[in-house]
Chain A
Amino acid sequence: MGYRDSVVCSADHLFVFAFRVTPANVSDKVQLIPTLSSLEAEGMLKYVGALWGDNAFWTTGNREWLADKHVADHLHTAEETGKDRKNPRSARRKSKIRSKIEALFGILRENYVFQRSRVRTLPRVTIEQALIFTAHNLFGLMALIDGRFEDHLSMRRFLWTLK
């Protein structure tokens, strides 16, 4: 019961680049194109050179769309998933990058009211999620401007300790 956030983040600094909030019953595999389409509409898809993601996104439609937009597809395949995966080495290689987003979710969950909502109805929850991602990016930018970029992921250190 609830909602689902699909998030696109940068692999190096973990900034949230795009997001989309839907009801929880919307499948992961149909989230990729609408989330990236919003970037395309603003001419920001050129910043997405390659895309990593789990095998929920690995559908023919998604892969064709990515190929059409010249985005390198590094999504986990069905063969790279599960206990008896056929290609464990490539799975490990992809996981090394893909798993960084789990760290972002962990950081957001620890520092912000992420993965739970204090309001009701989809528009209000979308606003709340937009504020969370805005706050995360703003702290990152402010950390850079304040000359303490090493603290950009630790909001507690950034907000509660003076350099």
Chain B
Amino acid sequence: MATAVEIPQMTQVLATLEKNQVHFSPTLIELVWEDVEKLKASLPASYDATARFLALARPIVEACLLQAGYFPPESPVGRPPFPAAAVMLLHVLSTQEACKSYRFLPDYVNSHPTWLRALQLQKAPSDSTLSKFRTKMGEDFFQRFFNALRNLLVAFGLVTEKQAMIIDTAPVAASANLARANGSAKLDEEKLKQLFETLDLSPADPLFPPESGHSKSSPYPRAAKQRFLLLEKLGGFLSRNSALLYLQRHPEVNQLVGFPEGQVPTQPTFTYFEKHNPALAEWVQPLVGQLVAFFDAQGDYDEDDPLPFFFRHTERRESPG
């Protein structure tokens, strides 16, 4: 790898731009160069290497932002926004191995006053602000920013015409919580049975419309559907589908809920049920007294952590991360 590369003269850079027809505004490059030269001459001695990099990179990032089609809002509503160049440089810092996560980044930067000074910030924006910036700008903007910087590399002669290039692929491991994805929970059937035996659903009956004789009646009893909806909420299933899947895999629980043997309803059954009947919060209202009495009578029920009451968690696989 060749390392003896000299800084090109500005005239050379402009000539390269003209010759190769690279999409980068020559005026912007001239302005950037002026700024960089000024900054180089006036960098405080207290700056460490990173602060020096941040200070010198700021005009370049500003130019790339303009080239990528970013223009600061003229009259922003509310608090003035953080300068986009500083936010982009913070993102660049966040890609470092030393920066453990986006959440860690503000603390990491705030602990280095010279970096903040180089970025012209009083305080680093929070991880939420950075996340909002990424969401707002979107994938295309970051691609355009990358392209603008690549064009600048061409302008500075670091990539020349008809160059040798290499292509390859590399895997990127997904940020997946395998422990959660592969973990399985087993419902405590005894407690569930006890609840369904104790719970009398009849006080909620007047809230439901009478079943009409015109349409084909559902093969699933209404009480069973109510019990299932209660189980879904009290059991803390991640989705309705996962609760239905649990019933399919555990016929004994399906029986406790009250569905006919070997039959588990599908999601549309409940969509239809919810559409044509009062909301769960409404029909549970008359049952609150019973539910409170049931849980009060249980010695091992913890209000702050209600889920383990119904669930006996099986051991989960360790996450590789």
Query: In the docked arrangement, what's the CA distance between A35 and B61, Å?
Result: 25
Whether A144 sits at the interface, judged by CB under 8 Å, is yes
Judge whether A47 and B175 touch: CB under 8 Å.
Answer: no
Residues of A with C-beta under 8 A to B7: 144-145, 147
Q: Which of B110-142 contact A (CB under 8 A)?
A: 134, 138-139, 142
* Cβ-neighbour of A11 out of B20, B60, B152, B163 (below 8 A): B163
Chain A interfacial residues counted at CB < 8 A? 90
Whether A13 sits at the interface, judged by CB under 8 Å, is yes
* Cβ-neighbour of A52 out of B60, B102, B150, B167 (below 8 A): B167
For residue A128, which residue of chain B has the nearest CB? Answer: B95
Report B70-93 CB contacts with A as 1/0, cut-off 8 Å: 000000000000000000000110
30 A-B pairs within 8 Å (CB atoms) are namely A1-B176, A6-B169, A8-B166, A10-B158, A11-B163, A11-B165, A13-B1, A13-B159, A17-B159, A17-B165, A44-B151, A48-B162, A48-B163, A48-B165, A52-B166, A57-B167, A100-B166, A110-B97, A115-B171, A115-B172, A127-B134, A130-B146, A131-B95, A134-B142, A138-B92, A138-B149, A144-B156, A147-B7, A159-B50, A162-B49
Residues of A with C-beta under 8 A to B20: 46
Judge whether B167 and A112 touch: CB under 8 Å.
Answer: no
Chain B nearest Cβ from A74, distance in angstroms: 8
Nearest 8 interchain pairs by C-beta: A49-B162, A2-B174, A11-B164, A130-B142, A3-B172, A101-B166, A53-B167, A135-B92
For residue A6, which residue of chain B has the nearest CB? Answer: B169
Chain A nearest Cβ from B167, distance in angstroms: 4
Q: Which of A128-143 contact B (CB under 8 A)?
A: 128-135, 137-142
Residues of A with C-beta under 8 A to B162: 46-50
Whether B5 sits at the interface, judged by CB under 8 Å, is yes
Residues of B with C-beta under 8 A to A36: 167
For residue B93, which residue of chain A has the nearest CB? Answer: A135
Chain A residues at the B interface, C-beta cutoff of 8 Å: 1-19, 21, 24, 28, 31-32, 35-36, 42-44, 46-54, 56-57, 97-98, 100-102, 105, 110-120, 123-135, 137-142, 144-147, 149-150, 152-153, 155, 158-162
Query: In the docked arrangement, what's the CA distance between A127 and B93, Å?
Result: 14
Residues of B with C-beta under 8 A to A11: 163-166
Judge whether A118 and B167 touch: CB under 8 Å.
Answer: no
Judge whether B166 and A112 touch: CB under 8 Å.
Answer: no
Whether B168 sits at the interface, judged by CB under 8 Å, is yes
Query: In the docked arrangement, what's the CA distance between A42 and B23, Å?
Result: 8
Residues of A with C-beta under 8 A to B147: 42
Judge whether B142 and A141 touch: CB under 8 Å.
Answer: no
Query: In the docked arrangement, what's the CA distance between A13 and B77, Å?
Result: 44
Residues of B with C-beta under 8 A to A7: 167-170
Judge whether A15 and B153 touch: CB under 8 Å.
Answer: yes
Judge whether A131 and B92 touch: CB under 8 Å.
Answer: yes
Query: In the docked arrangement, what's the CA distance between A139 and B150, Å?
Result: 12
Judge whether A159 and B53 touch: CB under 8 Å.
Answer: yes
Judge whether B146 and A5 touch: CB under 8 Å.
Answer: no
Known contacts A13-B1, A150-B4; 17 additional CB pairs below 8 A are: A2-B171, A4-B169, A5-B172, A10-B165, A15-B159, A36-B167, A47-B154, A57-B167, A115-B170, A118-B102, A131-B94, A134-B92, A138-B57, A138-B149, A141-B158, A142-B56, A144-B156
Query: In the docked arrangement, what's the CA distance between A144 and B9, Å?
Result: 12
Chain A nearest Cβ from B133, distance in angstroms: 10
Judge whether B146 and A153 touch: CB under 8 Å.
Answer: no
Query: In the docked arrangement, what's the CA distance between A4 and B173, Å?
Result: 8
Whether B145 sits at the interface, judged by CB under 8 Å, is yes
Chain B nearest Cβ from A57, distance in angstroms: 6
